[in-house]
Structure 1
Amino acid sequence: MGYVKLVFLMLFSLLCQLAFCSSLSHLCLKDQALALLQFKHITIDAYSTLLSWNKSIDCCSWDGVHCDEMTGQVTELNLADNGLQGKFHSNSSLFKLSNLKRLDLSNNDFSRSYISPKFGEFSSLTHLDLSYSNFTGLIPVEISYLSKLHVLSIQIFSDGLRFGPHNFELLLKNLTQLRELNLRYVDISSAIPLNFSSYLTALWLPSTQLYGVLPERVFHLSNLESLNLLENPQLTVRFPTTKWNSSASLMELYISGVNITGRIPESFGHLTSLLTLTIASCNRLGSIPKPLWNLTNIEELNLGDNHLEGPISDFFRFGKLWSLSLGNNNFDGKLEFLSFNRSLTLLETLDFSSNLLTGPIPSNVSGMQNLQVLYLSSNQLNGTIPSWIFSLPSLEWLDLSDNHFSGNIQEFKSKTLHQVSLKQNQLQGPIPKSFLNQRDLYYILLSHNNLSGEIASTTCNLTKLLVLDLGSNNLEGTIPLCLGEMSGLLVLDLSNNSLSGTINTTFSIGNELVVLKFDGNKLEGKVPQSLINCKSLEVLDLGNNELNDTFPKWLRALPDLMILRLRSNKFFGPIKDSSTYKFARIQMIDLSSNGFSGDLPMSLFENFEAMKINGEKSGTRQYVADMHFVYYTNSYIVTTKGLDLELPRVLTTNIIIDLSKNRFEGHIPSIIGDLIGLRALNLSHNVLEGDIPVSLHQLSVLESLDLSSNKISGEIPQQLVSLTSLEVLNLSHNHLVGCIPKGKQFDTFENSSYQGNDGLRGLPLSKDCGGDKGVPQATTPFGLDQEEEEEEGDSAIISWQAVLMGYGCGLVIGLSIIYIMLSTQYPTWFSRMDVELEHKILKRMKKHKKRISV
C-alpha cells in the first residue's frame, strides 16, 4: 500500500511539473503582449481580427499570432487582410518583436507610408510580405540585410515603389537562401544580375522596367517552378536551344510583352510538367511551333496578340485545357471542329476574338458545359447564334460582337451572366427577358443591330449594371422613368432609335452616370433639370431630336462635362452672357441647327479652359470617357472639314465648336483666339457681321474653319497664313473684300472657299489682285458691286485720256509762246515763269501716266 502511495505521489508531482511547464511554454511574454497591444491602436475596421486581442488572454492564442513554445517569443505575425489603416511609422511597436520569423502585412492600407529601414533589423526573418498595403517611395537597402529570407513579396497595384541604383543587384546577391521573390509593379529599372539564389522556385518580376538580356541561368535553375516576366518591353529573352535544367520542374511560364528573339525552339518540347504558358504580345510570326504539341499537360495557354496564323483545330489535342486564348492573331478557317470534339469538358475560357474565322458556329456542339467565357468577336462569322450557347449553364462572359450574325437573341439559361456583347451584327427581335433574371449583370451591349420592341421598365432591377448600350436599333416607346435612378450605372446609350415622348426620367442624387446619349430619336419637350445631379457626367448627347427649350445654362453645374451636343433640335433664344457659366472641361460643344439667337456668348468662350491648352504637346493619346470602360466606345457625328464625319472614338485633342445654322448675330469675339487647342470652328449660316478677328491666327492646330453664309465684312487677315494645319477653309457668301492672302495653306484652297464675296480678288478667283508675291494692294471701298467698279474704272481711264490730250495741246502752245517770247526779247521774269510752268506740266503728266499703268 505504501508503495502504491509513493508511486501515486511521484506521478502526481510529475503531472504537476508537466502542467506547470506547459503553462509556462504558452505564456506570452509581457513585453511582447504590450508591443502587440500598442500596435493594435492603429486604425482598424469593424471586421479586423485585432478586435479580439485582449490583454486578459494569452497573446500567443490571439488570432494571427504564433509564439515559440519554449521561449514565449512571438515568431509569426499574420495580419493580412485585417483592415489596418493609417501611417506605419519607424517607431512602431511592432519592431520590438525582434524574434519574428514570419511577417505578413499584406492587403492593408498604410496610407502611402515609406517602408521603414527597421525592417532590416528582423535578422531571423524568413518570410516577409508587404504586398498591396499602399507603401510608397524607395525600398530601403536594409531589406537586403535579411540574409535568411526564403520568401520576399512586395507587390503593388501601380507605380509607387522603387529600388535605388544597384539596390536590386545587392538584394539578389545577399539573399542567397531565397526561394520566392515577387516584386510585381515595383520599379526596378535594372538588368537581372548573374548572381542570385540557386534555390529559387518562383521568380515574379512583372511590370518592373527590367532591361537588358535575361541571363540564361534563370532557365537552368533546377528547382524553378514559376517564372513571370510579363510586360517588360525592354527585356530581351533568349530561350535555351537545348534541354533546360528546370524542364522537369517548371509549371508556370509567363513571358508576355517582352522582346523575344527568334522562334520558339525545340527545347520547349521538354517542358513536360508545364501547366501554364503565356507568350502573348511578343510579335510572334508564322504557325504554331511544333514543340508546343508535346505539352500534353497544359491547362492554360495564351498566345494572344501576336501574328500567328493557320488552322486552330489542333489545339484540342490538349485534353486538360481549361483556358485557351488565341485572340488578336491571324488564325483562319471555320469552327467545324467544335462539332465533333469531345475533349473540351474542362474548358472554361475560349477566346478566338479578332481573327479571320468564317462561316457559322456549328449547332451540334456538346461537352462544353463548364464554359464560362466565350469570346468570338471581330471575326467574319455569320448565320444564327446556335442554341447551345444560350443553354450554357455557367456562362458569365459572352462577346460575339462585330460579326454578321442574324436572327433573334434567344433566352439565356445561365443565371450567372456578367457581360453580354452582341453589338454590330444584324440581330432582330426583342431584348431577351432573361436579362432581367440576372443578379450580377454588369454590361449589356446590343447596339448596331435591328432589335425592336420597347425597353422594359424592369431593366431597372439590374442593380449592378454599369453599361447599358442599346443604341442604333429600332426600339420604340418611351424611356423608362426609373433608368435615372440606377445608382451604379455609368453608361446609358439609347441613341439612334425611334424613342418618343418627353424625357421624364428623374436622375437621382448620387448617380454615377458618365455617358448619357439620347441622340437620334423623336424626343420632345425640355431638358430635365435633374441632370444637374449627374455630377460625374462627361458626355451629354441630346442631338437630333425635337426638343423645344432655351439653352440649359444650369448644365454649368456639371464639373466634368467634356462633350455637349444639342444639335438639330428646336432650341431657341439667346445664350445670355453670364459670369456664372463654367464648362471648364468642355472639349466639344455642338449647338448647330437650332434657333439660338442674339450675340455669341462671350462668357462661354472665356470659361472654356480645356480649349486653351494645346493637347498635342502632351505626347499621349487619350479618349473622352473611354478610359472608364473596357467594353464601350463613344462615337459621334460631327460637322468638320465641310463634311459630316463619324468619330468612332473622340480623342481629348478633338476640340470642336459648332454653332452653325442658328440666328447668332453681332461680331465674332476676338477671345476665340485664346482657344489654342481648337481643331474645328464652325460659325456658318448665322447673321454674324464685322471683321474676321486677327486673333484667329493663334489657333495653331486649327484644321477646319467655316464662317460661310454670314455678313462678315472687311479683308481676310494676312496673319491667317500662319495656320499651317488648316485643311478646310470656307469663307463663302459673305461681304469680304480685298486680296486673298497667299502662301502656305492658302495656296491649296479652291474657288469654293471664297465664292459669293464679290469684293475679293486674287487667286484662286479669276479677278487679278495685281502686285507681286501676293502683297495686298489698294482696295475698292466696301459697298460697290462689280459692275460699278468696272464702270468707275473705265470712266477714270477716259477722263485721264482727255486730261492728257489737253496737257499735250497746252504744252505745244506753251512752247510756241516761249519761242516767240525769246525771239522778241520779252522780259526775263516772264521767261522764268514759263519755264516753271513747263516743269510742273511735265511732272504732272509723268505722275498720271504712272497711275494709269498701275
Structure 2
Amino acid sequence: MLSPGSGLPANYSGLTGLRLLGLASMDLEAGPLPSSGLPDAWSALINLQRLDASNNRYLGGIIPQSWSNFSSIVSIDVSNTGVCGSIPRGLKNKTTPSVLPPTCELVNCRRYLVETLKPMMDSQLQPGSACNLTSLWPSSERLETWFNITAMLTTYGATPVQDVISFVLNDCYANNGNSFNVVLPSGLTCFSSLTELSFNVNNAAGTLPDEFTTLTQLQELWLTDNILTGSMKASYSALTALTILKLHNNQFTNTLPPEWRALNQLAEISISDNYNLNGTLPSAWGSLTSLTSFWAWGVGVGGQLPSSFSDLTLLSELTFMSDTMSGSLPSEWSTLTGLTLLNLASTRATSTMTGTIPNAWFGPFGATPYMSSLQTLTISGTSVSGGLPPDLSQVTCLTAIDFSVNKLTGGPNPSGFPFQYITLTELNTLNLADNPYLGGTVPDPWAASMVNLTSLDLSNTGVCAPFPSGLNGKLTPSTFVNSYCDDLPAAYNLVTNFKPLFDSGASGSGCDLSSWDPATPLCNNTWSGTGCDISPPDSSGVSFAHLTSLQLLNCITGGAAARPLPRSVTQLGGYLSSLIIRNSRLTGTLPQDIGFFMTPLTKLDFSSNLLTGELPAFWSGLFLLQELDVSGNRFINGSIPIEWGFGLNSLYVLNMGGMDQLTGPLPDSLYYLANLNDLTIESNSMTGTLPASWQSMYSLTSLVIGAGGNASPGPSINGNFPQSWFTSGSLQGLWNLRIANTKMTGPLPDPGGYQAANLGLTSLDLSSNLLSGTLPDSYQGFSLLQRIVLTDNAQLTGSIPTSYSIL
C-alpha cells in the first residue's frame, strides 16, 4: 500500500501485466530532485493502458522518455500535479494536460510552505497585519508566482527547475499585543540557491536555526523586529557569501562571536536594540574589511572600542550606542576616511570612557589620512573630557555635530569655543549641551561664517557674554548666557575631586555640598564654602570670575574614614587667596607645589587633620601668605624649614600647635618674619635653645612654645631663657608668652624695672620647666599682667616679693 507523502515505487515495474493504475489524490510526493518523481523503471509496464496520478500536488518531475515504450497506453493523467517539462513524442496525445509547465517547481519546498509555514502565519492573522497567505499564496498557482517569492531558472541534470533565490515575508505582526507562536522558517533550506531571506516584523520567537548555516549562497539575511533569543551563533560564520546581515530589535543574549570575522564579504551589519547582548565588540571583526555600514545601538555590549576597526576603511556609517562603553576613543580610527556618519553615544550617559576626542581623527592640518568625509558626528553621553578638537575645523562637509552630555572642558579664557570652527560653513546643527565645564565667549566670526546653522544648543555650559547677536535666533531656548565667565577649571576640580570626598552623600562625611551643582555657576554665591571675585568688563566687554576662597570645616562624622588631600588642590586657580580644610581627617603629605602654584594665598589652614610627612620648604614661595595653620596634625614630622624665615615675609599668624613629632631646633631665620604677630609651636620632640635672635620679632603679640599643658616628657629645648627678649625692648607688643614643659634652665628672665614697664604682657606662663633662682622684683613693673604661671619649676626658690601686690 502507498501512504501519503510517499513517492512512486520503482519496484512496481515488476507488475508487467498491470493494465490500470489509479493513484489519484493520494498525496504522493516525489521529485523533481534528485531524480524525477516518475520512475524510469516503469517503462517495463508494456501492458499498461491507463495511469491516473492526478491531484497529487507534490508529485513532480519530468515524464521519462523511456515511457514511450507504453505500447498499450491510452491515457496518462497528471493534472494538478507538479509534473513538468516536455511530454515524450509518443505520449503527447495521450497525456492530460496536453501541455505541461516547461520548468519544474521544488515540490518538497511547496509542501513546507503550504502545510507548515502558511498555517503557522495565517493562524496568527491579526487585524492590520500585512500577511494573508491564503490570498497571497493561491494554491492553484505555482510557488514562483507567489507574493514576494523570486525564482531563478536552473538545471539539475536534465531537469529545468525554478529554484527560489529570494524569499521575503515581512510585517505579519499587527502589533496589537497578542502573543504569536511563530518561529523562523528553517524549512526554507530546501531552496538551496537562496540568496535573500527576509523575515522581519513577524514576532518570531526561538533561536537562530542551525539549518540556516547550509544556505551557503545566502547574500542577504534580514531577521529584524522579532523576539529572537539565544546567542548570535558562531556557526553562522559558514555563511561566507553574506553581504547584508540585519538582526536588530530582538532579544539576543551572550557575547558577539569573534568567529564572524570569516564573513569577509559583509558590507552591512545591524545588531541594534538587543539590550541583553554583553561583552565587547570583538577585535577580530576588524577583519570585516568589506563593511560599509555598522549599526549597534541599544546593546549591552560595551568596553573598549577596538582599535582594529581602523582596518574597516570602507565604512561610511558607524553607530555604536552603549551604556557600558569604557576606555578611550582609538586614535587609530583616523584611517576611516570614508565615514560620513559616526555615532558613539550612551543613552543614559552611564559610559565611563576616559580621554579626549582624538584630534588625530581630523588632522592636524595637512595630515592624511583623517575623517575628511564626515557629515554627521555624534559623541554623546560618553564621559570623554578635554577640549573641543581644533582640527575638526578641517572637516568642512560636516552638517551636524553632537558632543552633548560629556565632560568636555575649556575656557573661559581663552574661550573653549574654537575660533577655527568658522570653516564649518555647512553646519546645520551644533549641540554642545550638558558640558558644564566648557565655556567662554562664542567667537563673533561664527555668526558670519555659519550661515547654514539653524540650531545651536549650549544649555548647561559655561557660555558667557557677550554673545554674537547674529546667532541669537539659532540659540535653543534652554541656553542661558551668563553675564560673566565663570571659573570653570575650579568648578570642575571641586565637583570632580573634592565633592566625592567631602559631601555628606559620601560615606562618613559631614559637609553638605549639595549646592555644588554643575548646572549652577560656581561664582553665583550659592556654592557653600566658596567665595569668588568678578572682574570688571575688559575692553571686549568680558567679565571673568575667579575662585578666591574655599572653606571646608568639620567634614567628618562619628567613625568617618580618613581621606587623602586631593593632589588637585594646587589646580584650584591662580586667584585663590584663602584655603581652609580643617578637622576633616585629611591624610597624605602636604603638597610642595602649593609654594609654586598658589602664590596668591593669604590664608592657608590644614589644621586638625591626619596629615603626615614634613613641612614643605617650598612653601617659602608664598610671599603673600598672612596666616598659616597646620596645628593638630600630630603625625607631621621633621623640622621647621629654615626657608620659611626668608620667604614668608607677609606672615603674621603661624600656628604649629599640637604637632607632637616636629623635631630639630627652632630656626633662627624666623626672626626675619618682621610682620609675625602670633607664633605657636608645640611638639614633644624639638631640641636646641630658644634663639636669642627672636628678640627682633618686634611684631609678636603672642608666642607659645612647648608641648601644651603638662604633657610629658616635653621637648628637649634647653639652655637659659634669652634675657635679651626682655631687655632689648623690641618685644613691647608681646602680650601672651607661654614657654612650658621644656627642659629650659637658668633663672627667670629679668627685664629690669624700666623695660618691664614698657612691656605689654598680660599673660606669662613659664610652667613645667627646669628654671631656678628667685622671682625677679622687676615683674612688679608688668602693669598689664593679668596672669602668671610658674608652677612645676622645682628649683625656683625664695618667697614671692611683696612688691607683686601691686599687680
TM-score range, shorter chain: 0.3 to 0.5
Is the radius of gyration larger for structure 1 or structure 2?
2
**TM-score under structure 1 normalisation?**
0.37
**TM-score under structure 2 normalisation?**
0.39
Greater percentage in helix: 1
